[in-house]
Amino acid sequence: MSTTGEGMAPEVESFAFSEENLEKIRGILARYPEDRRASAVLPLLHLAQEQHGGWLPRAALDHVADFLGMPRIQVYEVATFYDMFNTEPVGRIQVRVCTTTPCWLCGSDEVLRACREVLGVEVGESTPDGRFYLREFECLGACANAPVLWVDDDYFEDLDYARTKAVLEALKRGERPRPGPQSGRRGSMPAGGKTTLLFEEK
């Protein structure tokens, strides 16, 4: 987390939405009244971040603000408020470890240790090759399958040290490991097997 906006992130000269994104934006704006365009700031920031390799330079924030006709500072506020927006360059694959209480009780410290070891970086850092970005995250809302790792768009659940290592090493090799519980259980069914509905329905 940065303390000042400038001097940390590299200067990016300009930003403009791609044709493809402009098409999407037309659809997004249609959801809001004409004089409430500012309501579209979150989806537009997501699009901008996606287009700009996972982070938002000031040029992109300014572009979104001017595009929606809202004060630039308000877009800075939104972009810095939400953890999902990065205002500094980060690795392409974003590895986020949930360390909130339920995950922590279920061993997120071990998950974090595995991440550090495999990726060779500390929390808040990107790997030198720019592939991975490791960070802690507040509750990901998947407590039933704690501890949880969030990589790009996928959740990896029911982790321990070894399973985390396996997932990350697969990612490192360029494979796409199967998301979801890594313990073999289905969804968030009870971890030690069924405790109810033990009889077959006739």
Partner 1 sequence: MPKLVIDGEEIEVPAGYTVFQACELAGKEIPHFCYHPRLNIAGNCRMCLVEIEKSPKPVASCAMPAAEGMVVHTDSPLVHKARKGVLEFLLINHPLDCPICDQGGECDLQDLTLFYGPDHSRFEENKRAVADKYLGPLVATHMTRCIHCTRCIRFLTEVAGVPELGGCWRGEHLEITNYIERALHSELQGNIIDLCPVGALNSKPYQYRARIWELKKTESIDVMDAVGSNIRVDARGNEVMRILPRLHEEVNEEWISDKTRFAYDGLKYRRLDVPMVRRDGRLVEASWREAFRTLVDRMGELPGERMAFVLGDLVDAESMVLVRELAERLGCPHVDCRQDGAKIEGRLRAEYLFNTTIAGIEQADFCLLVGTNPRWEAPLVNARLRKRWRMGGFRVARIGAPFDLTYPVEDIGEGPETLKAVAEGEHEICEALAKAERPMLVLGPGAVARADGAAVLALAHRISERFGLLGEGWNGYNLLHTAAARVAGLDLGLLPGEGGRDLAGILKGVEAGEIELVWLLGADEIEVSRLAGAFVIYQGTHGDRAAPVADLVLPGAAYTEKNATWVNLEGRPQHGRLAVFPPGEAREDWKILRAASEALGRTVPLDNIFAVRARMAELAPQLARIDSVTPAEWGGFGRRGRLTEAPFVSPIADFYLTNPIARASKVMRQCSAEILRPVNEKATGTHG
Residues in the chain: 202
Residue 137's SS3 state is strand
Residue closer to partner 1 by CB (options 75, 171) is 75
149: enclosing H helix or E strand: strand 149-151
Confirm or reject binding of residue 7 to partner 1 (CB under 8 A): yes
Confirm or reject binding of residue 175 to partner 1 (CB under 8 A): no
CA distances from 80 to 9, 36, 41, 87, 167 (A): 13, 21, 13, 7, 30
Using the rule CB under 8 A, which residue among 21, 51, 76, 125 binds partner 1? 76
Strand order in the sheet with 93-98: 125-126, 132-137, 93-98, 149-151, 154-157, 180-181
Residue closer to partner 1 by CB (options 58, 163) is 58
Q: In the bound complex, what is the minimum distance in angstroms from residue 139's beta carbon to partner 1? A: 14
Using the rule CB under 8 A, which residue among 74, 88, 104, 110 binds partner 1? 74
Using the rule CB under 8 A, which residue among 66, 152, 169, 175 binds partner 1? 66
CA distances from 145 to 102, 152, 159, 162, 174 (A): 9, 18, 8, 16, 25
Stretch that binds partner 1, among 21-29, 71-79, 120-128, 166-174 (CB under 8 A): 71-79
Q: In the bound complex, what is the minimum distance in angstroms from residue 126's beta carbon to partner 1? A: 20
Q: In the bound complex, what is the minimum distance in angstroms from residue 30's beta carbon to partner 1? A: 25
Q: In the bound complex, what is the minimum distance in angstroms from residue 93's beta carbon to partner 1? A: 24
Beta strands 154-157; 149-151: pairing state: antiparallel
Q: Which residues ranging from 110 to 169 are in contact with partner 1 (CB under 8 A)?
A: none
| Phi-psi map region of 102: left, alpha, beta (phi>0 left; psi -120 to 50 alpha) | alpha
Q: In the bound complex, what is the minimum distance in angstroms from residue 58's beta carbon to partner 1? A: 7
Residues engaged in binding partner 1 (CB under 8 A): 1, 3-7, 58, 62, 66, 71-74, 76-77, 80-81
